[in-house]
A and B are shown apart, each in its own frame.
Chain A
Amino acid sequence: MKIDRTELYGGRALLLVLMTITILPFISIFMTALHPSGTVPRGLEWPADPQWGNFIEAFNVANMTALLGSSVYIVIAVVPISLIISTMAGFAIGQLRIPGSRILLALFVFGLTLPFGGIIVPLYYLERALGIYNTRLAVVLPLIGLYMPFAVFWMRAHFVNMPTEISEAARVDGSTLWDLFWRIHLPLARAPMASLGILMSVWTWNQFLLALVLVEDPTERTMAGALGAFQGHYATNVPLLCAGTILILLPTLVVFVLFQRQIISALLQGSVKG
């Protein structure tokens, strides 16, 4: 290999610059969050007297206990249901190849392109009519629907690559379709399901528009939705806003660090197959 030293170090230095640009914003708001409440600190300045209490204050002011409860509730309501129904659909389309599979797949793939803004207005009136507006269900039900394109597509990609011999062998043994799915294929699909589950959890946590429009009470929203309300109230108190922002994005960073491989591979493969 002929790569000279100048290029080698130049390339690495460039990466270092890019990493700095990526990280610096986090450091800047972290430092800002430690300044006395109500001040307007400079961009990068370690405070003389770090106000760690800002995090506690932001936690209390934003009613974070209620928020955490609400977000966890929404994630728990959305993710398992989405997982199971998308896996079933992916199984039928990718493994059973039921008649109409191609059209079904195209119908779901179409949804991948759909901007949320394209349906948010009718969703609002639909939910008023259904009587679920301003409840957690107002976010839960549309999210399940909105995840179906990616989720079905992702699970179908797994099932289409599973050898059909497995199903044929089970059929010879006389097992029912449900047994075939539940006993044989579901355990084999654990890995793609796990990636999908992690991804949908993060997306749910980060969901903003639906929460903003469909739930008036910030404490019934997702974390990101509540952050929007928090910003409205504390736009002038910069350190407190930064502290609140850090509290809300911290869990996503923790999940990312823990499940980095699954998240990256799911996002990349999911979009490549799309």
Chain B
Amino acid sequence: MNSRRPPFAGGRWEHVVGWLFVIPALVMYGAFVLLPLLMSVQYSFVRWNGFGPMTWVGLDNYIRVLEDPDLLGTIFNSLRLVVFFSFIPVSLGLVIASIMHRTATGRYGALARTVLFLPQVIPLVAAGIIWGRLLSLPGLVNEILRAIGLDDVTRAWLGDFDWALPAVGFIGVWVLLGFCTVLLSTAMTKLDPSLFESARIDGASWFTEFIRITVPLLRNEIGVCLTVTVIAALAAFDIVYVSTAGGPGNSTAVPGIQIYILAFTEQRIGPASALAVMLTALVLIVILPFQRLNREA
């Protein structure tokens, strides 16, 4: 990558002092992130209720997670959330960004970017509470459905076994769509305008432009959006905790929620930690392919 000669090559003493600059950040990161991560691994191999003695149980906790449908189910739920938190905001964001690029370049586009970004800055807890209210039986969503004559589909969305997960996912779409749209549309404004101009002089339709120019050239940014949103989906906690707490039944339980319940209400530290380790590994495995997407671009 960058092969410029470091300014302080040579002096050994200066390397030592240089390292001193990293130490504070490294210590905080090590003590409050890396150390707990290693402890998670350690806890995942023991039976422990939080205060008594620890008993080594080998892989038992992992086997328990894999065999208990309630625990393993949380991982499948979070993978289903990826569709909502990630694929929908990224693909919709791409479409919106390219529409913006063609039809709203000036102030209107800037206004749209600001507004769409709003849900990204408020606390996720607040987003959960707001939508908990909107998706309730007397809430706005049902009111609108009734107004357009869809009385039959109205329901308490977050309390419905089949609909709770998509409803939670929809909250994720609301939060993350703006982030993806703004990121992609900012990237589009940096693309060479002559590409679009020549396409438009040829009378290229929106769709042709989208498939031929926008998507291939934004490969890098698409990878970034996928990475950020997939992490948000797999690591989801705040929105789920506040809007459904994992219910009804276990229909919206995600690993974050299950770890919290196992460790802090059931005092089963072993399985909680096994799930935590699996979650951490899952995030790494899932986002790794997107990093390749980045590098190739």
Indicate whether B161 reaches chain A with its CB closer than 8 angstroms. Answer: no
Contact check, B280 vs A115: say whether CB atoms are below 8 A apart: yes
11 contacts between A and B (CB under 8 A): A7-B206, A15-B100, A26-B118, A95-B7, A107-B29, A114-B280, A122-B35, A122-B39, A141-B28, A164-B4, A181-B21
Indicate whether A38 reaches chain B with its CB closer than 8 angstroms. Answer: no
Closest to B131 in A: A25
**Residues 89-126 of chain A, each 1 if its beta carbon lies under 8 Å from chain B, else 0:** 10111011111100010011001011111111111111
Indicate whether A70 reaches chain B with its CB closer than 8 angstroms. Answer: no
Q: How many residues of B contact A (CB 8 A)?
A: 107
Given contacts A96-B7, A114-B33, A171-B7, contact A15 B112 (CB under 8 A): yes
Indicate whether A145 reaches chain B with its CB closer than 8 angstroms. Answer: yes
Contact check, A88 vs B21: say whether CB atoms are below 8 A apart: yes
Contact check, B130 vs A25: say whether CB atoms are below 8 A apart: yes
Residues of A bordering B, CB below 8 Å: 1-3, 7-12, 14-15, 18-19, 21-26, 28-29, 32, 40-44, 85-86, 88-89, 91-93, 95-100, 104, 107-108, 111, 113-126, 141-142, 144-146, 148-149, 151-152, 160, 164, 167-168, 171, 177, 181, 202, 205-206, 208-209, 212-213, 223-224, 227-228, 231, 238, 241-242, 245, 248-249, 252-253, 255-256, 260, 263-264, 267-268, 271-272, 274
A202's partner among B50, B117, B121, B280 (CB-CB below 8 A) is B121
Contact check, A113 vs B126: say whether CB atoms are below 8 A apart: no
Indicate whether B96 reaches chain A with its CB closer than 8 angstroms. Answer: yes
A108's partner among B29, B117, B186, B203 (CB-CB below 8 A) is B29
Given contacts A115-B283, A117-B255, A171-B8, contact A268 B186 (CB under 8 A): yes
Given contacts A118-B277, A209-B238, contact A256 B264 (CB under 8 A): no
B26's partner among A89, A260, A264 (CB-CB below 8 A) is A89
A96's partner among B18, B117, B256 (CB-CB below 8 A) is B18
Contact check, A29 vs B133: say whether CB atoms are below 8 A apart: yes
